[in-house]
Amino acid sequence: MSFTVPYRQHHYVGEFADVASALAVIQANRWDTAKDGTGTPEEGMLYYNTTDKRALIYAESEWRPISTEHVLNVAADYGAAETWLFDVMEVDTSGGDINITLPLPAVIAAWPEGRRLTMFNVSTNLVNIDPNGNTISGRADIRAVAAENGFVEVMKVDDELVILSSEGSTFGTVPDDITNLEIWIDASDSTTITDIAGSVSGWDSKDATGTRSFAQAVVADQPTINTAAQNGLDTITFDGISDIMSAGDLTVFNNGAGRGLTVMAVVNLAVSDGGPIVAKYQTVGDEREFRVSGNDCRISDDSTWAATEVANWALPTICCIVEMTWTPGERFRIYINGELAALSPAAIIDITDCTSNLTIGGDDWAGGGWLTGDIAEMAIYSDVPSSVERSDLRTSWIVKWGINAKIVGAQLWKRDGDSDTLEPVATDDNVNIGAGEYTGSIATLTDLNASEIVVTDAGSTLTTTPFGTDAGEVAEGNQVPRLKARSWMGF
């Protein structure tokens, strides 16, 4: 190819929507081969096509693309699910979630070792990568890539695909990927919500039965849609006054061996109060099953008032994930963003099925209160999914709902060495370390000295300070209070 002098400075001719527009400018400026506005482009001329978003070069008497922008827009030319063979892909998810399906295992088997695929999400929704029968780092699950510059880089190593690097990505588990799903409500799915001017009268569950739904016929007691409230997605707001929805007398637990009950929910409470997130709980003691609220959780053993176990806790007033898990014969547990936050004081043997309604936002207990805040998504299982399954779902929700995963939900824990029990939230005037306990008010950090921690339980004969005054101290180092103690012997 050659470019005739003196027109070499016109190698790149500009941005145009199509070939005809580019040729018109070339001919108008006499840059064409005939130099009179009647010829063709010179060999080697370049222009950028703004329609196809690619650069073209004029070679061998035709315009040929020299670049292709790997951008998929689900709202434009491409479907929601496509199969692609590529090296690097930027995915525009502004029109909605996009599923990227990898080639079949037989195709990938022919790839050379070290072949890489990198997928970038450059907009606001999710990229879902379907392995299509392959495994990625040993997992066959769909992998989700978070919005706004999340990416995942996959490489073929020893005949398998492994994750080389990633950011903002997770295995794309959704609630119905896990067995024994009883309820799944999702505020971001408008097809499951019945509303008039934002007041919600019906919220359908996405579980396999296709028949379960929460409803509220009284307009004054209907929650409302909070548009684009969390990570650009809708949530459902309960007013803390009278908003409540009921699914009727629906059993969602199983007393069988190894089964039980699990509630997982994405919530954003305005007030960390006693308002129920979800409950099956009446005023009458023998009509109580369970209740999960902003500051406590209850399960009734055999639905009797006396056997109700309460785990007190405090849910943060920001978007987070709360979980309650119970296996028959064991204590139930509460987690916030995967961190253990509370344990029931005693084990629950089983739950007796009663006739109370399964409700969200409130319950049938006269003193139960009302939820003040939003429910984004919830899954209820008649089982306790594995820690891996719950972690995968939790991480997918963190990506989907834009949750700050660094929120620490765990409490401070104290252990009673004599009874071998754990309790959360050690306060400043009751520090229990093993079998020793300090009681009394601590005015400042330096007032607590290890020499003052004495054994006070009934089985001990120690009644005075057993150590010298230099046995330990509380000091502030690197902004973190800590207890310093020397070792001792002889007791």
Predicted confidence pLDDT, tens digits, the chain (491 residues): 444 444 444 578 889 999 999 999 999 999 899 999 999 998 889 998 888 777 888 988 889 887 555 444 444 444 444 444 567 777 777 777 777 778 788 888 888 888 888 888 877 777 878 888 888 888 877 777 766 678 888 888 887 888 888 877 777 788 998 999 999 999 999 999 999 999 999 999 999 999 999 999 999 999 999 999 998 899 999 999 999 999 999 999 988 888 999 999 999 998 876 689 999 887 766 678 888 988 878 888 764 555 567 767 778 888 999 999 999 999 889 898 888 888 888 888 888 888 889 999 988 876 678 899 999 999 999 999 998 889 889 888 887 888 875 544 444 455 565 666 655 543 433 333 333 343 444 444 343 343 333 333 333 333 333 333 333 333 333 333 333 333 333 33
What does the alpha-carbon distance between residue 203 and residue 195 come to, in Å, rounded to a whole number?
9
Name the residue among 147, 213, 215, 205 with its Cα closest to residue 176.
Answer: 205
What does the alpha-carbon distance between residue 24 and residue 31 come to, in Å, rounded to a whole number?
10
Q: Where in the chain is the domain with CATH 2.60.120.200?
A: 176-401
Reported pTM: 0.61
Fold of 71-171: Jelly Rolls (2.60.120)
Residue 374's contacts (CB-CB under 8 Å, 6 or more residues apart) are: 187, 226, 229, 230, 235, 236, 237, 238, 267, 268, 269
CATH of domain 176-401: 2.60.120.200
Supply 16's token pair.
């145009």
**H or E element, residue 56:** strand 54-59
- CA-based R_g, the chain, Å: 31
What does the alpha-carbon distance between residue 256 and residue 238 come to, in Å, rounded to a whole number?
34
φ and ψ at residue 63, rounded to 5 degrees: -80, 125
Interior CA angle at 228 toward 224 and 234, to 5°?
50
